[in-house]
């Protein structure tokens, strides 16, 4: 017996909303959308929804809330997001969904003029999406009236707390006096999120569609071990080895982000930075270049890239050891979205690699480990790639009208130079890669010797303690005060 496929039309959604969804090409809800829409009492309960990034949660909370509203008017729904980019994306989703129902959206984010936002609110926006800091600004100015808000959504709740928004979130929650429902969506539920749930949500229903300790099954994880002082050179080698169609490179600081993007661009890669010190116009331009594929590599900090929903990201590359497993999973979640496969690459020194193995020891995360590709490895790969390209060209030549021209080229005295020039046009014209193998092996040997010395030292102390204990026991003398 066949199992009936669940469709949006199976849910009790208003006809105009159904038409809006269908016009957008959506027919089958994702698991998180099914879980939320399938609750009979969804509008009469607080919710905690744990779902991985890229799972379709924006539509999951927008559909039931918009379905419950009638027309425009005062703000009724407030969605809080950790970053400007995520808030703007969420507002865009709610805009196309709500506009046909007569509902306007106000986007309240920092880094842009507050005047147009005030105008949006005054014209009547029943749906409000914003970042905590800017929402607080509007509450203090009196331009956003908390008394009319009935539904509060905390999107990416774990990351809002990671970014230090706890005080702002609590200040907002305390002002919401007429809230009927509070929904929290989060990829993970650490202690900081549990505290927020216990204090501000009332007997919430819990929907768990992903576990804290697991990453997206559509993402394969690789670690390349590289010399600690040659991380940029290792990044170049990995980019040449992996040849990503579209990649996000994560750096720890704004300074490193700008430096890496500049050096990659100078080496021939189409790379753009995005970090918190950039103006909103610059950030929007960098994102648009990335979305349009004019830029193939976006070099970003965690804060700037959080919430980015760019289709077709084939690779995430993390430079250095992540601060914790949650940060690692969040970064890797920029790829492998909406059912597509992706690759997450991490570049670590030998010491960082040992720490990483300790970090993931108790988690079900499958990682494949490699030494960073060396220049010789890249040369061999390039030769293989050129051979494949030549095979494709030979297949294309069948039935083509260039055989006489090709014969004339072969008859030239400089035919070898012409062929080499044609091959050069097929090859990557930027960086050629770096020789890193010898330096990596030397660093690994030093690290091994250091571990051996530390082990011998600990073993010597243990033997000394054991010998002393035996001596006390044999002589019958009491142990000195403080001796163990």
Full pLDDT tens readout for the chain, 484 residues: 344 578 998 999 999 999 999 998 888 999 999 999 999 889 999 999 998 767 789 999 999 999 999 877 899 999 999 888 889 999 999 999 999 999 999 999 998 899 999 999 999 999 999 999 999 999 999 999 999 999 999 998 887 886 778 899 999 999 999 999 999 998 888 788 899 999 999 999 999 886 544 456 788 999 999 999 999 999 999 999 999 999 999 998 999 999 999 999 998 999 999 987 888 788 888 888 998 888 999 999 876 666 566 788 999 999 998 877 777 887 888 888 767 889 999 999 999 998 888 777 656 678 899 999 999 999 888 888 888 878 777 777 776 677 788 888 888 888 888 888 877 776 666 677 899 999 999 998 888 887 777 656 655 555 554 555 455 444 444 454 444 4
Q: Which tokens is 408 given?
A: 């004339």
Sign, Cα dihedral of 87, 92, 98, 103: positive
Q: How many CA atoms lie within 13 A of 380 on its CB side?
A: 5
The per-residue pLDDT for 474 is 46
The per-residue pLDDT for 329 is 80
**Strand pairing class (271-274; 205-208):** unpaired
Q: Which tokens is 121 given?
A: 């609110």
- Tell which CATH classification among 3.40.50.300, 3.40.50.720, 3.40.50.1860, 3.40.50.410 matches the domain 13-208: 3.40.50.300
The per-residue pLDDT for 243 is 92
Give ranges for CATH 3.40.50.300 in the chain.
13-208, 219-376
pTM for the predicted model, two decimal places: 0.57
The per-residue pLDDT for 119 is 95
The per-residue pLDDT for 145 is 95
Which residue from 328, 296, 288, 332 is spatially nearest to 312, judged by alpha carbons?
296
Architecture of domain 219-376 in CATH? 3-Layer(aba) Sandwich (3.40)
182-230 pLDDT per residue, tens: 999 988 887 888 999 999 999 999 998 865 444 567 889 999 999 999 9
């Amino acid at each position: 017996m066949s199992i009936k496929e669940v469709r949006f039309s199976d849910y009790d959604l208003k006809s105009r909303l159904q038409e809006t969804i269908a016009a957008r090409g959506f027919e089958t809800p994702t698991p998180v959308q099914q879980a939320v829409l399938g609750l009979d009492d969804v509008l009469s309960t607080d919710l905690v929804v744990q779902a991985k990034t890229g799972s379709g949660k924006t539509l999951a909370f927008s559909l039931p809330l918009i379905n419950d509203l009638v027309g425009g008017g005062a703000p009724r729904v407030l969605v809080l997001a950790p970053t400007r980019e995520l808030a703007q994306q969420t507002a865009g989703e709610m805009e196309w969904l709500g506009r046909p129902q007569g509902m306007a959206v106000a986007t309240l984010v920092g880094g842009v003029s507050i005047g147009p936002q005030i105008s949006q609110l005054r014209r009547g926006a029943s749906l409000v999406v914003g970042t905590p800091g800017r929402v607080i600004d509007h509450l203090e100015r009196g331009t956003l009236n908390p008394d009319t808000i009935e539904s509060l959504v905390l999107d990416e709740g774990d990351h809002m707390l990671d970014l230090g928004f706890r005080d702002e979130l609590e200040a907002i929650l305390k002002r919401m006096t007429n809230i009927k429902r509070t929904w929290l969506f989060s990829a993970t539920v650490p202690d900081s999120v549990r505290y927020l749930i216990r204090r501000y949500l009332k007997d919430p229903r819990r929907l768990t569609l992903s576990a804290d300790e697991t990453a997206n099954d559509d993402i394969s994880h690789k670690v390349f071990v590289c010399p600690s002082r040659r991380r940029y050179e290792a990044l170049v080698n990995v980019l040449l080895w992996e040849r990503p169609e579209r990649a996000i490179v994560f750096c720890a600081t704004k300074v490193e982000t700008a430096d890496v993007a500049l050096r990659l661009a100078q080496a021939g890669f189409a790379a753009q930075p995005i970090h918190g010190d950039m103006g909103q116009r610059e950030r929007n331009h960098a994102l648009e270049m990335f979305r349009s594929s004019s830029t193939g590599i976006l070099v970003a900090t965690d804060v700037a890239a959080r919430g980015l929903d760019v289709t077709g990201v084939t690779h995430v590359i993390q430079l250095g050891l992540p601060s914790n497993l949650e940060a690692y999973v969040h970064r890797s979640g920029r790829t492998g979205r909406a059912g597509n496969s992706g690759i997450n690459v991490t570049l670590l020194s030998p010491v960082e690699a040992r720490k990483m193995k300790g970090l993931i020891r108790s988690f079900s995360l499958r990682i494949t480990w490699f030494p960073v590709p060396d220049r010789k490895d890249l040369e061999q790969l390039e030769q293989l790639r050129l051979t494949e390209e030549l095979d494709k060209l030979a297949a294309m030549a069948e039935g083509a009208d260039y055989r006489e021209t090709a014969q004339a080229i072969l008859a030239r005295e400089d035919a070898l130079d012409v062929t080499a020039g044609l091959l050069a046009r097929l090859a990557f014209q930027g960086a050629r890669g770096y020789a890193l193998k010898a330096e990596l092996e030397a660093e690994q040997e030093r690290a091994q010797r250091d571990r051996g010395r530390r082990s011998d030292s600990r073993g010597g102390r243990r033997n000394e303690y054991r010998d002393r204990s035996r001596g006390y026991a044999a002589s019958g003398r009491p142990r000195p005060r403080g001796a163990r």
